[in-house]
Amino acid sequence: MQQFKADFFKALAHPLRIRILEVLAAGEKSVSEIQNSVNSEGSAVSQQLSVLRAKNIVVGTKKGKSVIYSLRDPSLVQLLDAAREIFNNHLIDTLTMLEEMDEQSPPPSP
């Protein structure tokens, strides 16, 4: 189980892959829609989609000449939300610490 988790999180360990998952959290998209949403080149998006497909995190379905991607498991949306909440909590803690440090600093001399 730990190995599965480690491999899973390794697959998520790239900013563009996270951004792609955030885009797909809103619903299925074609490669060109994903490219437009993440403002990235086609080759970079295709490369990252390939990693996500290989780890069964996203699935691609052929529709005509296009491939439509979606999240394999809707629980990924909850994971992304939890990661955002953890980030926000850390940010709040850091801001609080900086404010406390600022309050403890002596006032600047005139």
CATH number of the domain that 42 lies in?
Answer: 1.10.10.10
pLDDT above 70 covers what percent of the chain? 95
69: burial class by Cβ within 10 Å (0-12, 13-18, 19+)?
A: buried
Report in angstroms the alpha-carbon separations of 15 from 1, 63, 80, 94, 109: 25, 28, 12, 22, 44
User: Residue 110 domain-assigned?
Assistant: no
User: Residue 98 domain-assigned?
Assistant: yes
User: Residue 41's pLDDT is what?
Assistant: 80
User: Residue 57 domain-assigned?
Assistant: yes
Q: Report residue 49's pLDDT band, with 50, 70 and 90 as the boundaries.
A: very high
User: Residue 41 domain-assigned?
Assistant: yes
Task: Count CA atoms within 13 Å of residue 42 on its CB side.
Answer: 4
The chain-wide mean pLDDT, for the chain, equals 89
- Residue 108 DSSP label: P
Q: Report residue 107's pLDDT band, with 50, 70 and 90 as the boundaries.
A: low
pTM above 0.85, yes or no: no
Report in angstroms the alpha-carbon separations of 101 from 85, 86, 96, 104, 107: 24, 23, 9, 5, 12
CA distance 70 to 21: 9
Q: Report the number of distinct structural domains present in the chain.
A: 1
Report in angstroms the alpha-carbon separations of 61 from 29, 64, 70, 73, 93: 10, 10, 8, 15, 43
User: Residue 109 domain-assigned?
Assistant: no
Sequence length of the chain is 110
pLDDT above 90 covers what percent of the chain? 61
Give the domain extent around 73.
2-104
pLDDT, tens digit (0-9, with 9 covering 90-100), for 18-47: 999 999 999 999 999 999 999 988 799 999
